[in-house]
Amino acid sequence: MTFSCRECGRQLPNPMKSEKRNRCVECVTGQKVDDIEGKKQRTTNTTGEKQNTNNTERKKTPKHYHVSVEPPDYISPTKTAHIFAAARYNQDDIEHHPCSKKIYQYAKKGNDSHQDYLSEKINKLYQCRIVDDIHCFDTLCVYPRSERREVCSELQALARRLENKFDIEYRQVLSRTTTTTAQKKLGEKRRWKNPRGTLTVQSNVMDEKVVLLDDISTTGSSLFWGTHNLLEAGAEIVISIVLGLSYKQRQSVNTLNDPEETVSTKI
């Protein structure tokens, strides 16, 4: 896989990528790398060794989930929302599903004792599926709460941890303009219509690649409208990452086991 250096504009292999705002090693260090292809060769083992390494990586790679959310026929925009999840969420049996219980207690009840655990879950999702992808994302935004101008403080804390660890800027570019009924209180059809017209993009996102962060996705309707608004405002690419993807999600869910299954392979 390759990436585009923001400073020199060259398309380079990922081994040349530094940790500084999508710049190559040469631009960051000022030192010339003799031969990029030679560098790639030196980091490649023999066929048998490489196969063993790949097998080891697969064993170490945590399982994640992806769903492409398309609106029902009675919703006019035809854009697709891509949601990547750190775990599945079982709201009907929380007591017997430890990860679901932690997500619920942290995101819905404000129990900070689970912050480190969930931060590690979302960090691994970001590390495995986004960091080494060909798409270099610029902005991280928390999906707003149903109340006007409100944002979940627990998700903001996770967003700031992601910002500090990875090469992405947390900006609250999406805002709720009108208080709406909480999605959990609605049936599926009303869930799709409820968020429409209640969101606004309050900062410039023209040509940016944006990551939306939310706690739980059930139908994907909320994140669909967030994606729609950002794309309409000029964002180039929008994806969503969530702590938990509900088992009530009716659209086809892909289980990601392979470390090569990054964002670009799914969108």
Provide the whole-model pTM. Answer: 0.77
Going by the DSSP 8-state scheme, the letter that residue 63 receives in this structure is P
* CA proximity to 127, closest of 173, 176, 66, 62: 62
Q: How far is CA 71 from CA 19, 45, 88, 151, 193, in A?
A: 37, 46, 21, 25, 10
For residue 59, what pLDDT is reported?
A: 54
pLDDT in tens, 116-155: 999 999 999 999 999 988 889 999 999 999 898 899 999 9
Please list, in sequence order, all residues whose beta carbon lies within 8 angstroms of the beta carbon of residue 147, skipping any fewer than 6 positions away. Answer: 176, 179
pLDDT in tens, 200-209: 999 999 999 9
Model confidence at 181, pLDDT cuts 50, 70, 90, reads confident
For residue 264, what pLDDT is reported?
A: 93
Model confidence at 164, pLDDT cuts 50, 70, 90, reads very high
Going by the DSSP 8-state scheme, the letter that residue 24 receives in this structure is B
| Share of residues in the chain with pLDDT > 90 (%) | 54
Task: Output the average pLDDT for the chain.
Answer: 85
Answer whether residue 240 shows pLDDT above 60: yes
Answer whether residue 214 shows pLDDT above 50: yes
Cα 218 to Cα 235: distance, rounded to the nearest angstrom: 24
Residue bearing the bigger pLDDT, 67 or 191: 67
In this structure, the number of other CB atoms found within 10 A of the CB of residue 203 comes to 13
DSSP 231-260: HHTT-SEEEEEEEEEETT--SPEEEE-STT
Answer whether residue 173 shows pLDDT above 90: yes
Element (H, E) at 81: strand 81-89
- What the chain holds in terms of domains, given with CATH numbers, is 2-44 (no CATH), 64-265 (3.40.50)
